[in-house]
Every structure is written in C-alpha cells, then in structure tokens.
Amino acid sequence: MLKELKPALVMLVTLSALTGVAYPLLVTGIAQGLFPDAANGSLIERDGKAVGSELIGQSFTDPKYFWGRPSATGPTPFNAAASSGSNQGPLNPALEEAVKGRIAALKAADPAQTAPIPVDLVTASGSGLDPHISPSAAAWQAPRIARLRGLAPDRVQSLIEQHTDGRQFSVLGEARVNVLQLNLALDAERR
C-alpha cells in the first residue's frame, strides 16, 4: 500500500504546486505586464484615492448626479458579491411594479421632463452591476442636472459627449456612458 501511496502523494504535491502556485503566478505576471489597469480592477482615482471601478456601477440617488441603471443585486444595490439579475420576466407583476416605481422616482426628480424615459433607466442589467447608461439616458437626465447644478445645458451635453464611448471595434455593442466618470467630471466643474 505504501508503494502506491508514495506516487499519489508526489503527484498531489507536484500538481498542487503547478496549478495552485506556478500557474496563478504566471498568469498574474502576464496580466500585470500586459494589462496592469485591468488586472488591478480598472480603478478610478480622485486625489490619489480610489473612488470606484470602471467596471462596477455605483448607486447615485442625489438628483444633482446622473443616475445609472437600477441594480438587481441584494441586499444592497451594486453589491459585487451578489452579482445577478432579478430573473423577472416581462409578464411578472413584480417587474411591472418595480418599473412603475422607477418611473415615478424619475418623474418626481424632474417633473418638467416630459420626454419618454429610456428603458435602461428603469430596467436592471443581467449582472445588476452595469456601470453604463446609454447616451439617450444621459441626455434625458441632462436638463435636471443643468438646472440643479446651475450649469449651461450645452456644457452638460458636452460632458456627456466627452464621456461617451462608441462601439467596441466600431461594430460590437452600443455606445455607452460610464456614470461614475461622468459624475466625477460634473464634480470637477465645480472646482
């Protein structure tokens, strides 16, 4: 029995060292060398302090800020440890009620805005962590932001355009606006 146990233990230690130490160190080293920003979480810094990530949305509820897509994570919004969608289908009464509540909140924050509300402002993404909104969702909120911050509407629209990323490789996905970066740019306007 010891004759069979020795090779098994040698293989266990060897494979554990290869797959548990050597391979992760190699992959981490390559990632740090080729893609250091992404390997470190795509963090956004302000005054030398990390304020968020380009990849994970944040909850903004103050009407002076752009609001992102609703988050379906629980128990708190944009909880990266609980990434998931709500799994509520279009015929689910709970989804209908949630959307009605989100529409009411948007209208209460800006009663003068009568344009149709873009769908991404009232529906959560599949991960519940989406940091982006569509340019139309940003433009819909622009009058509220301009009024509450005392900025010219053209200036707010210019900030939206500056923070709009086009399709990846000009063909994949849709144009998008990172809400955290846009809100940081708004704060920088006041400095």
Predicted confidence band at 53 (pLDDT cuts at 50, 70, 90)? Answer: confident
Q: CB–CB of 78/179 below 8 Å?
A: no
Residue with tokens 């086009």: 166
Predicted confidence band at 55 (pLDDT cuts at 50, 70, 90)? Answer: confident
The structure tokens listed for 182 are: 């846009």
Q: What pLDDT is attached to residue 75? A: 74
pLDDT in tens, 67-93: 999 988 777 788 777 777 777 888 889
d(CA 144, CA 182): 15
∠ CA 188-189-191, rounded to 5°: 65
Lowest mean pLDDT among 22-36, 37-51, 162-176: 37-51
Instruction: Answer yes or no: is pLDDT of 19 > 70.
Output: yes
What are the DSSP calls for 26-57, one per residue? Answer: HHHHHHHHH-HHHHTT-EEEETTEEEEETTB-
Positive or negative, the CA dihedral 28, 32, 35, 36 is positive
* pLDDT, average across residues 159-163: 96
Domain locations in the chain?
42-189
d(CA 146, CA 139): 11
* Helix extents (H) in the chain: 2-17, 23-34, 36-39, 93-109, 135-149, 153-162, 179-189
Q: What pLDDT is attached to residue 190? A: 67
This prediction has a pTM of: 0.79
